[in-house]
Structure 1
């Protein structure tokens, strides 16, 4: 029934009264409405149906207006895109054609890249990229390794600034050096590790120089000296292994440094030495024997001050050097007694009858050198005797000369406790050029006698009568000085 009804209503469309186009018969909305009209009574077509259609039209108009308000921007954009679609589609077709033409070239480049960076064959570029990626992943480790020379130099510099009392930084520096040395042994082909190792060796040479310089300190103690020698054994093991002696080359180095300190301390007496030289010049210029008894004491006054201070420094430092050396470099149990005995008799210029006969190895000129301590006291004694022979004749006062000779004997006895007694080598120091008796040793003999008597009294107090002596001294304090002898 829909088709006849459609044919009945179709002529009313597309006419002056209704300019609307004729709806399609296949339209679902049209077919649905025609089916609805066939179900309505005839009276409703003229009464309620026009109102229903007007209401539906108004509702549709309101919906279109609200939709236009909500989707205004979207509609405008859609309109613009629709207007540009005529130019966009040909451009898209042109670019698609260009892309289709460039695909073979892209394929060729991809194949060439794959062949160039293939892992199946050796490739320098790929190796460089691998190394760069490896360095990027291990940049923190590389930074730590590169900072090792700086840390080592900082530890050495801080230890040098804080002095020999600080042992922590030197120990840290030695640990860092051991770590870098281990890295160099593991990665000998690495240029980076080799460069760091070279910088480390330069820093350790600086540390060695600082340690050697610390051995020349005036107020160095035994503990500091032992620590310094221990560090030198770790830093420069070649100094400890080139010699067959137990102390190695470090023993000679220690003696040379302490000798330099002694010479520098004695050189501080140069102002007094200049005055003594002036008195020596006056003594050599003045050959009149009548003036010898008048102003002899005043001429030798400055020389006496110089020699007293010289002998005092020499006594303290020589004993400290030899005793510290023996504490740091102890000799073996089989050579201690013979070395001390040989040192003592050699310093006296005598030959010991109880000294053992030299072995063929000792007679061999190519045999290892003896200990540095065996000749060091002779050098010290040579410095002292040369100074005494040069300046002692300036002192003409008898009491002053006896005081100086006694001081020299105390110095010889102090060094003699370590096996270096040189008192007999100084027998000619008391000889006077104007002595008419011929032997010239009377003053020295008198000084020796007084020294032995005083040494005997001190020894008796220290050995058998120490308790009685202390008690007697305590009782003597309550008596007058004339009653205590």
Structure 2
């Protein structure tokens, strides 16, 4: 048994020496099963070693490489533990016994062949081996030199390289920061672009009239950007641009309040101003009134023209001004009431708008002040312009009164009925127009009397016209007839607009005019100094002719109820106002006029005292007698 074990171990060693590890492994397994069965007592056979194994300590089978490593010398253990040896031993373990028995012979044969091949190779390639040896020697020296150089590099250059590297890092820190910033900007490019384009987009919305969208953009900027992001120079710049666009938006909205617009547009504009929250409710109300007042002023200028147009045609100027006033002020009141004044609540408590803590009375006071100013302006304009209308255009005054009555009734529906304030203005204007007609006729006649007195004309030269024809022009009419026609023209204009309350004033003015004219003519007649020139009339003497002319003029103007001056007084009382035309015998003015007529007709100065105290006190003038 020992002999067989020795043989087996020898064969295995030979196979391992030749590299046939797998064959050796197979050989061991086959020999173990054939020649060395495991006894029942429980031990295993290790070549040259017998180990008792207790059945209770029996473990997993030990492989051939493990057995060889356990029995090998330390120098051989490295060979036995190599991958090639393990692979060959595994190969030996898989070989059958017959193959394993021939494995030593095969290994010997392969060894001889390898030896022969190596010998032949060395013989044929000895120059190559010599060159390889020389190259190996040179390579070894080069490697030693390289090692020395690398050591010097590591000792000398590496610290310098580290220093330069640190310096490079320090010098490139700003660039790295810029690169990181650029990367961050690139990462948030879309968001930054939205922020940077917001001012331009906001300005475009404002310029295009998209005011609600512009306010939405501003709200987005304030809520989602300005309140969230930290304060930076870029955000401050964008905020400044947004504030500039908001100021432009505010200016445009305030300009819309000055432009012609209806209630829906104005309501929308005021709501946008409330959304901007830059004006309090009282400031907004004042701005609204100022804007609409400015628009109304522009409408006045466009409709009425300049001051020159007012002087050229006062009636047309007033007509257009009243029309613009009626439409503009009425619209202002209704628009302001709809926008700012709350509707009456069903309960006693009126809710104020959330934008304001003002009471409705305070808001109404703004409107009252504005309408009072425009109404005062209208009344002032009526006082100054109505009296400028000529008497021949009294029909325009009548139409203006109708227009004013319609305007006042329209304003009465909104609580601004001003008809009571029109009455004294219209009465004064009518009185001024009529008395101006009286004054024009009076001035014209007085001028002719003064010219005749200054030039010494005889009564027959200017008080009468030979062969007078009514169909001829006014230049061929007697001066007294021109005066009467002027008074009648003023009275005819009064018939169109004849307020009963001005009758006494007009009658008083007419009497004053008649007295002034009569006194002027009386002064001329009493002078009796007409020169020694020849008379144009074919009479026996100049004095008799002039006396006859004066008597005829006196009878025509002052004599009897059918005389011209009495007719003028009756024309006012009966023709214009329809009063009773019976003259009062105690009428001082009538008696005074009759006395002047007698003096002119008969030359009797003592029949009436033209400078009497009663007349002077009643009419405020005196007659100067020229001797």
TM-score when normalising by structure 1 = 0.52
Match of 1:106 among 157, 161, 165: 161
Q: Which residue of the other structure, out of 322, 325, 328, is the alignment partner of 2:336? A: 325
How big is the shift at 1:112? 6.4
1:154 aligned onto 2:209: no
> Which of 207, 222, 232 pairs up with 2:273?
232
Query: Following TM superposition, by how much is the alpha carbon of 1:139 offset from its aligned partner in structure 2, in angstroms?
Result: 2.7
Residue 211 of structure 1 is aligned with which of 241, 246, 253? 253
1:187 aligns with 2:229: yes
Distance 1:197 1:140 in 2: 19
Quote the Cα distance in structure 2 between the aligned partners of 1:221 and 1:434. Answer: 40
- Confirm or deny that 1:303 pairs with 2:309: no
8 Å CA contact retained: 1:215, 1:257:
yes
Task: Tell me: CA distance 1:385–1:412, structure 2 relative to 1, closer, same or farther (3 Å).
Answer: same
Asked if 2 retains the 8 angstrom alpha-carbon contact of 1:272 and 1:303, the reply is no
| Residue of 138, 143, 163 corresponding to 2:193 | 143
Spell out, residue by residue over 1:165-208, the C-alpha distance to the aligned partner (whole angstroms, 9 max, x if none): xxxx2221111111122222223522211221111011011011
8 A Cα contact 1:308 1:404, kept in partner: yes
1:383 equivalent in structure 2: 377
- Which of these residues, 97, 120, 140, is aligned with residue 27 of structure 1? 120
- Greater C-alpha radius of gyration: 2
* Counterpart-to-counterpart distance in 1, 2:294 and 2:380: 17
For 2:397, which of 396, 401, 407 is the aligned residue? 401
- C-alpha displacement at 1:109, in angstroms? 4.0
More displaced stretch, 130-139 vs 208-217:
130-139
Match of 1:266 among 294, 300, 315: 300
| Alignment partner of 2:365 out of 364, 371, 376 | 371
Deviation at 1:416, TM superposition (A): 1.8
How many angstroms does 1:325 deviate by? Answer: 1.2
Aligned to 1:257, what secondary structure does the other structure show? helix
CA distances 1:244-287 after superposition (whole Å, capped 9, x unpaired):
xxxx2212211111111111111124547414314xxxxxxxxx
Indicate if the aligned counterparts of 2:387 and 2:433 stay in contact, CA closer than 8 A. Answer: no
CA distance 1:423–1:102, shift in 2 (3 Å): same
Q: Report the CA distance between 1:107 and its aligned residue.
A: 3.0
- Structure number with the bigger relative contact order (C-alpha 8 A, sep ≥ 6) is 1
Q: Give, in whole Å, the separation in 2 of the partners of 1:335 and 1:434.
A: 54
- Return the offset for 1:105: 1.8
What secondary structure is seen at the aligned counterpart in 2 of 1:375? helix
What do the CA deviations read for 1:105-155 (whole angstroms, capped 9, x no partner)?
A: 2234446678x69xxxxx988766654442332233212211110000011
Mapped contact 1:405–1:444 kept (Cα < 8 A)? no
Residues 407 and 25 of structure 1, relative CA distance in 2, 3 Å threshold: closer
Q: Between 253-262 and 129-138, report the one with greater CA deviation.
A: 129-138
Cα contact 2:304–2:310 (8 A) shared by 1: no
Query: What is the Cα deviation at residue 414 of structure 1?
Result: 1.3
**1:331 match: secondary structure:** coil
Counterpart position of 1:13 = none
How big is the alpha-carbon RMSD for the aligned residues of Structure 1 and Structure 2? Answer: 4.2
TM-aligned CA distance change 1:144 to 1:446, over 3 Å: farther
CA separation of 1:228/1:271 partners in 2, compared to 1, >3 Å: closer, same or farther?
closer
- Structure 1: state its 5+ residue gaps: 1-23, 32-84, 118-122, 160-168, 242-247, 279-301, 338-360, 448-485
Verify the 8 A CA contact 1:273 1:303 in the aligned structure 2. Answer: no
Is the contact made by 2:304 and 2:321 (CA closer than 8 Å) also made in structure 1? no
Residues 1:99 and 1:131: Cα distance change in structure 2 (over 3 Å): same
Q: What residue in structure 2 maps to residue 357 of structure 1?
A: none
Following superposition, the deviation at residue 309 of structure 1 comes to 1.5
- Structure 2 CA distance, aligned partners of 1:140 and 1:175? 20
Task: Provide closer, same or farther for how the CA distance between residues 335 and 309 of structure 1 changes in structure 2, counting only shifts above 3 A.
Answer: farther
Deviation at 1:224, TM superposition (A): 0.8
Determine the structure 2 residue equivalent to 1:475.
none
Residues 25 and 213 (structure 1 numbering): CA distance in 2 closer, same or farther, change over 3 Å? closer
Structure-to-structure mapping, 1:275-294, within 5 angstroms:
275-278=309-312
- Whole-Å separation in 2 of the counterparts to 1:255 and 1:110: 75
Which one of 196, 200, 221 corresponds to residue 242 of structure 2? 200
Q: Is 1:429–1:444's contact at 8 Å kept on the other side of the alignment? A: no
Of 320, 326, 330, the residue aligned with 1:315 is 326
Q: Count residues in correspondence.
A: 293
Distance 2:249 2:294 in 1: 20
1:346-365 alignment to 2 at 5 Å? none
Aligned counterpart, 2:523: none
SS at match of 2:341: coil
Provide Cα deviations, 1:43-95, integer angstroms capped at 9, x if missing partner. xxxxxxxxxxxxxxxxxxxxxxxxxxxxxxxxxxxxxxxxxx9xxx99x9699
Give distance in 1, aligned partners of 2:347 and 2:379. 27
> CA separation in 1, counterparts of 2:152 and 2:197?
56
Per-residue CA distance 1:283-313 (angstroms, 9 max, x = gap): xxxxxxxxxxxxxxxxxxx222222122112
Aligned counterparts of 1:312 and 1:232: Cα–Cα separation in 2: 31
Secondary structure, counterpart of 1:147 in structure 2: helix
* Of 182-191 and 419-428, the range deviating more from structure 2: 182-191
1:3-24 CA distance string (max 9 Å, x none): xxxxxxxxxxxxxxxxxxxxx9
- Assess, with a 3 A threshold, how the Cα gap between structure 1 residues 234 and 29 changes in structure 2: closer, same or farther: same
Q: 1:401: Cα distance to partner?
A: 1.1
TM-score by length of structure 2 reads 0.41
Cα deviation for residue 104 of structure 1 reads 2.8
1:429 shift after superposition: 1.7
Match of 1:27, SS state, is: helix
